[in-house]
Every structure is written in C-alpha cells, then in structure tokens.
Amino acid sequence: MWKRCGLISLIKVYLGEWPLIENLLSNGNNAEHKSVMKLVFVTGKGGVGKTTFASAQALNLASRGQKVLLVEFGPKSQLQYIFDISKLAKIKYKRLRVPASMEVVMWNFEEVLVEFITYYLKIKTLVKSFFSSPIMKKLIKVAPSLRELVYLGKATSAYRKIGKDMNYDTIIIDAYSTGHFLALMRSPVGMMKAVKKGPMNSQCKTILEVLKNPNLVDYYVVSLAEQLPIEETIEFVDVLKEEFKIQPKIIFNKVKEPLSKEADQSCIFQSYYNKSTINQDQQIKKLKKYNINLNIPFIYENKITKIVDEVQAQIGIK
C-alpha cells in the first residue's frame, strides 16, 4: 500500500500537484534573501585544484572572522583528506583541523531529500515509508535532474527561507567539474520546460533567480594555464554568460614562476620548465578580456594539507 502511495507521491511531486510536498525544493514564490550571506560555487576542469582552492578560500575567510560552511556533494568525500576527517564519521565530521568558525559538510543526495521531505511532511513514519519502498528508491535514482535540483534547492534554501536555518557569512560549494556543473545549472531550466506551470515551475524559477543574482552568488572557475584547460574554461565561461548572464571569476592554479637567469639552460628539465612558463603566459593572455581574479603559484609540496595551507597563505596575501 505504501509502495503505491509512494509511487503516486513522487509522480505528483514531479507534476507539482501534491500540495503537502509541492514545495519540496522551495516554498517561496519570491526570492527574498538575506543580503549578507554569500554563496560561492567552485568549478573547473577535473583535477585542476577545485577542492584545494575551495578549502583554502574557506580557511582564508574563516581566519578573517567569517562564519563559513564548506560543502561537498556526496557520496564520495575529498575534503576528509584535507581536514583529517574520520572516514567513518560520514556527515558528522570529526573536526580536527577545522577552525571554530568553519564547518565542513558533505551533502548526500538521499539525506538532503529526506531532510526536505521531512520538513514538509513533518510525519516521520510517512517519510520512512516513502523511502523504504524499493520502487521509490529506484525511481529517485533515475528521476532526471532530481539530484541536481535537490542540491541547488538546498544551496539556495536560506535565501528562499525554507528548511533549516543557514546562519553563515559564506557558503562555499566544492562543486562538479565544468560539464556536470552545466547540467547542475540547467536542471531548474529543464524542469521548467518539462513542467510548464504550477509550484514546481515557480520553485525552479526562484532557484534560478538566486543563482543569477550577482549580489548573492559568486562563481569561481579554476583553470591551469595550459592550452586544454584554458580552451575548456573559455567555452564554459561563454556558455555560462550566454545562458545565465553569469560572469564567473577565473583562478589560475599551479602557475609556475620562471627560473632565475642564472639557471642552467643546458639542463633539459630547466629548459623545458622555462619554455612552459613562457607558454603559460601566452595562454593566460587568451583570457585577458575575462574576469581573471587570481594566480595561485605551483606549491612544491606533496602533502595535500600543506598545499592547502600554502594556497590559503597566497590567497591571504592577494
């Protein structure tokens, strides 16, 4: 009986027909916001240093007295290695290296979904039944863009005054790589096309309103100063501007300093290294009409915690 009930419920949520959980992702028709809290998305090509930059920026703001929430999307955690967080602790992180004014969380899709449904349904047993059905579990996994919408709903929830209070100065999200990030941004647009009117449509509209508001949300694209990452960055930034009128800030990471003139030019490595620094300057110039925010140098360390500390120091200086 619960299985059938759950199945019908999910379909109704999609069609925006069930008043009790119609506001699954938002309950606001007007995006009223706290003016102070900033939401920051960090994206970029795979492996360029998104997690490193997001962590360093969070530490930097926390060290300046801000209350910061650093978020990663589950189910796999990268932040646990940076903050020495116990693998077993899951969402209740054991905060060993996290400053007092900062929190680190992993948002797990199913948990965030349960949180929203509990917020609206309020009856725990009903929520339990909703999720215990194997059919529901499968449907939730395959429902198009539901995961992305749930994450965006959560990220923008404080501005739309729903769910748990998020009392932070800044929320930094260590987000997906560029391709998947566009899918994340497009998820409310896709839902609005599929469901042309009703609450689901208007909720997606408010999510987009928040995302497009430069007073509330900052976007950082981390790139390497190399040809392929730069081409990908240009393409990504152009799409973001065209589709969403958003102008992200660009961070160049792992920028190499040229060697001193006295360096031995006959050494293969040194000569290669110097050529690559010249190439990197040429690559950076390709982006001069864009919003370049910061160059972070290559840090010659091999422990991630040390790299993050050093990047934090660099951000602090600039």
Ligand X SMILES: Nc1ncnc2c1ncn2[C@@H]1O[C@H](COP(=O)(O)OP(=O)(O)OP(=O)(O)O)[C@@H](O)[C@H]1O
Dist CA 72 CA 54 (whole Å): 10
240 touches which of Mg ion, ligand X, none (CB within 5 to 8 A by kind)?
A: none
Pick from 66, 78, 279, 295: which binds Mg ion (CB under 5 A)? 78
The reply on whether position 253 binds Mg ion by CB under 5 A is no
Residue 269 interacts with, from ligand X, Mg ion, none (CB under 5-8 Å by kind): none
Q: Which of ligand X, Mg ion, none does 307 bind, CB closer than 5 to 8 A by kind?
A: ligand X
Query: Can you tell me the distance from the alpha carbon of 156 to that of 208, in angstroms, rounded to the nearest whole number?
Result: 9
DSSP letters of 41-53?
A: EEEESTTSSHHHH
Nearer to ligand X, 246 or 307 (CB): 307
Question: Sheet harboring 38-44: ordered strands across?
Answer: 102-107, 68-73, 170-174, 38-44, 217-224, 249-255, 292-297
DSSP one-letter code for 93 = -
Among 9, 43, 51, 203, binds Mg ion (CB under 5 A): 51
Nearest 10 degrees: CA dihedral of 27, 172, 151, 81?
-150
Least distance (Å) from Mg ion to the CB of residue 147?
A: 17
Least distance CB 232 / ligand X (angstroms): 12
Binding segment for Mg ion (CB under 5 A), chosen from 74-82, 99-107, 129-137, 219-227, is 74-82
Min. distance of Cβ 50 from ligand X in angstroms?
Answer: 4
Binding partner selected for residue 182 from Mg ion, ligand X, none, CB under the kind-specific 5 to 8 Å limit: none
For residue 174, list its beta bridge partners: 42, 72
Residue 15 binding result from ligand X, Mg ion, none, given CB thresholds of 5 to 8 Å by partner type:
none
Binding piece for Mg ion, criterion CB under 5 A, among 12-20, 45-53, 153-161, 176-184: 45-53
C-alpha span between 137 and 133 (Å, rounded): 6
How many whole angstroms separate alpha carbon 31 and alpha carbon 152?
14
Please give the residue ranges that form the binding site for ligand X (CB under 6 A). Answer: 44, 46-52, 78, 177, 253-254, 296, 298-299, 304, 307, 311
Kindly tell me which of 121 and 304 has the beta carbon lying closer to ligand X.
Answer: 304
- Helix (H) or strand (E) holding 205, with range, is helix 199-211
Report which of 119, 93, 117 is spatially closest to residue 105, judged by C-alpha positions: 93
Residues that bind Mg ion (CB under 5 A): 50-51, 78
